Amino acid sequence: MHPVDYAAQTLRGVLDRIPVLDHAKIDDVLIGCSLPEKQLGWNTARLIVNRAGLPDTVPAQTINRFCSSGLQCIASAANAIIAGEMDVVVAGGVEDMTHCFAPFPEEYMNPWFHENYEGGYMPMGETAERVADKYGITREMMDEFSVESHARALKARTDGFLADSIIPVTNENGVLVTEDEGIRGDTSVQSLAGLKAVFREGGRVTAGNSSQTTDAAAVAVVMEAAVAESLGLKPIARFCCHAVTGCDPTIMGMGPVYAIPKVLEKCRLSLDDFDVIELNEAFASQAIACIETLDLPRDKVNPYGGAIALGHPMGATGVFLTIKALDYLKRTGGRYALVSMCIGGGMGAAGVFELL
């Protein structure tokens, strides 16, 4: 299925939930995409707007900050509103891992990096192996973490906790897709133990303890409070703050260890203030290392499962995690959500949201 099609269906499905919003009043559409090439080339954000049938007057831009592209779109949308430049911004993300995700071709690499900066083009799987080396994460720990991610996701789906924020998409065969396809209820430590390491001979990182390569899109509408009130809309949540930071790219999975303290300082909050923490599970090794290093309460981290079970459509992940977190707050009556992820190339991002 062409990614512009499922992204456009997602965009339209979200906007259909806000019938009072005049689409001509949308100031901009920001779409995150980590691999804006092939099927997602040619400013895919604008193509998605066109395909969704929005007025030609609605502009769009594609934003790439790798794994935090979607969260960056939310932050950029909020900042434009805070600055008084815009009132209504759509913030979303899309990824087509099936067609666009592949090793970066050697001939496109800048040769300086091979001699001077080891992490510049390092495959993400190798960085996950290095995190496991540095922080003493065993294969068994990673596989156990993965089984728990699937179990939590399966329970959340069975209990109906994932359904509210899913926009059904009709695929190219006319089949209506209404559930995430990556959850494996029969996953066990024994079955995962039989998988071979993918990125290093004798390594620990496998397809079973890594995030899934997923095709997906996610969309949120960010609006100035007074405008929402004028339309008779009750906002779901308030964007509080956002932070990004850099780190050693050879252990890029540790990005949240630096981004989370930075965003907490900006918001003047502590980890105890949060009711839910969505930490992207790029790899089990880095998720475990981040949880242990920051001493995150495990029961608050990814209560509906993470990317190992639900997938990591890189450009959309930040929006997806935010929506999951807000759904959890709505169900449990919580107040604050923390969303964070590592970023390819050695960065971390984190965002804070308050349920209203």
Residue 240 annotated in active site: no
Does the active-site annotation cover 247?
no
* Residues belonging to the chain: 356
Among 73, 247, 290, 342, the active-site one is 342
Count CA atoms within 13 Å of residue 218 on its CB side: 27
Tokens 């069975």 correspond to 158
Region of 136 on the Ramachandran plot (φ > 0 left; ψ -120 to 50 alpha; else beta): left
Phi, psi dihedral angles at 306 (to 5 degrees):
-130, -160
Asked if 290 is an active-site residue, the reply is: no
Say how many C-beta atoms besides its own lie within 10 A of residue 263's C-beta.
24
Tokens 């707050």 -> residue:
329
**Is residue 338 within 8 Å of 276, Cβ to Cβ?**
yes
CA distance 325 to 319: 10
Reference 341, options 270, 283, 279; nearest CA is 279
Q: Which of 67, 240, 241, 267 is catalytic?
A: 67
Cβ atoms within 10 Å of 241's Cβ, excluding its own: 18
One of 241, 247, 290, 312 is an active-site residue; which one?
Answer: 312
What is the distance between the alpha carbons of residues 183 and 181, in angstroms, rounded to a whole number? 6
Q: Is the distance from CB of 160 to CB of 304 less than 8 angstroms?
A: no
Residues with a catalytic annotation lie at 67, 312, 342
